[in-house]
Amino acid sequence: MNTLRVGVIGSGYWGPNLIRNFAELPNAEVVAVADLNPERLNNLQARYPDLVLTADYRSLFALDLAAVVVATPPHTHYAITRDCLLHGLHVLVEKPLALNSLESQELIEIARVNGLVLMVGHTFEYNNAVLELRRLIDGGEIGDVYYIDAVRVNLGLFQPKLNAMWDLAPHDISILLYLIGHDVTSVSATGSACVFDSIHDIVYMNLTFGSGVTAHIRVSWLDPNKTRRITVVGSKKMVVYDDVETSEKIKIYDKGVERPPYTETFDDFQCSYRSGNVHIPQINFTEPLRQECQHFVDCIINRQVPRSNGVVGLNVVKILEAADWSLHNGSVQQMVQLLPVPEVGAALLQQPTQQAA
């Protein structure tokens, strides 16, 4: 089997992790890295002496690559991803896919027309704890999901051109869509810009799903305690996924409220509370990014639709876009209409443009 030749564009905070993971995959190799910062390239040279290093990502188009990874700042995702797709390269782009839904849709269309894999780096969709959470929901163990509360807060890192929501919430939104489905119908958001006037460093979001499930997301760059926790409350059980915990990431509580079957008047109503065992399933640890990179390579080789495909990325952007509007307009609820997600694992066909169809 030939190894897949991969290039990486952007080698800042997250890039080195991508390079390391692709370098260690059996059926891929990192051939070249582009970054505007010469110091970063020097550091890479010391560790990977055979890499082609360049300041201009366009040099990568001459290297007979099969795919690129775009790990540049978010405001450049659209232009670079578009360029790479138009040069016939499969693309794994970091979250968010783009900064608005129109550009996201254009990227999906270009990939579709050219039969290319377009995948977004929603790394939590490849995290075994999230997979376990979905198994618990799909298997009915939790009962009907009532609501989900997600918290992702920490001190820093402030970014110059994005607020905390665009920086942190793509993780939570992609987890929620993966767990509950792509049927969010409305979104609202509120927050504060404490340190810089123009950049919200604290944001609270509300999502309503077509199924009636509601979700609340709290993200912040200004909290003394690092917290990454998702609470799923169902009619049968309650589950807490705490990503900061090293070994007990998921706790399943046999807790709930029994509604009284019938009450003459409200006055004599009496709920019964169930508080039973707690179960902590063993989650086998595999680096989520490793599973993500492997999936990208597999989808290219087998010509299949990936899990966090372009439409998934677009739906996350649609929610962010609506929430941003709400954030700047008195927290008013916004309707959203997500796109149906193509079947994961389906054959990736090269399709004529829709106009031509």
| Contact positions vs its own copies (CB under 8 A) | 47, 49, 146-147, 149, 155-158, 160-161, 188, 190-192, 194-196, 202, 204, 206, 214, 216, 218, 220-225, 231, 233, 238, 240, 248, 251, 253-257, 259, 266-267, 269, 271, 273, 275-282, 330-333
Token representation of residue 182? 């792509």
Half-sphere exposure of residue 169: CA atoms within 13 angstroms, side-chain side: 34
Whichever of 262 and 356 has its CB closer to its own copies, that residue is 262
CA distances from 172 to 19, 303, 336 (A): 25, 28, 17
Closest by CA position to 242, among listed 283, 207, 213, 202: 283
Least Å distance, CB 316 to its own copies, is 21
Question: Smallest distance, Å, CB 213 to its own copies?
Answer: 9
Bond preceding residue 96 cis, omega within 30 of 0: yes
Which of residues 110 and 173 has its CB atom nearest to its own copies in the complex?
A: 173
Phi, psi of 335 (to 5 degrees): -70, 145
Q: How far is the CB of 136 from its own copies (least distance, A)?
A: 13
State in angstroms the smallest separation of the CB of 138 from its own copies.
19
| Residue among 140 and 269 whose Cβ is closer to its own copies | 269
Which class for 237: exposed (0-12), middle (13-18), buried (19 or more C-beta within 10 A)?
Answer: buried
> Considering the complex, what minimum distance in angstroms separates the CB of residue 244 from its own copies?
9
Q: Measured from the CB of residue 307, what is the shortest distance to its own copies in angstroms?
A: 26
Other CB atoms within a 10 A radius of the CB of residue 340 amount to 9
Query: Which of 307, 298, 345, 302 shows the shortest CA–CA distance to 126?
Result: 307
Nearer to its own copies, 2 or 270 (CB): 270
Q: Would you say 157 or 349 has its CB closer to its own copies?
A: 157
5 vs 216, beta carbon nearer its own copies: 216
Q: Kindly state the smallest distance separating residue 215's Cβ from its own copies, in Å.
A: 9
Toward its own copies, which CB reaches closer, 53 or 301?
53
- State in angstroms the smallest separation of the CB of 44 from its own copies: 13
Is 64 or 267 the residue whose CB approaches its own copies more closely? 267
106: exposed, middle or buried (C-beta count within 10 Å: 0-12, 13-18, 19+)? middle
DSSP structural state of residue 37: -
Q: Which residues are CB-neighbours of 163 under 8 A, at least 6 positions away?
A: 191, 193, 199, 200, 201, 203, 324, 327
For 180, phi and psi rounded to 5 degrees? -105, -30
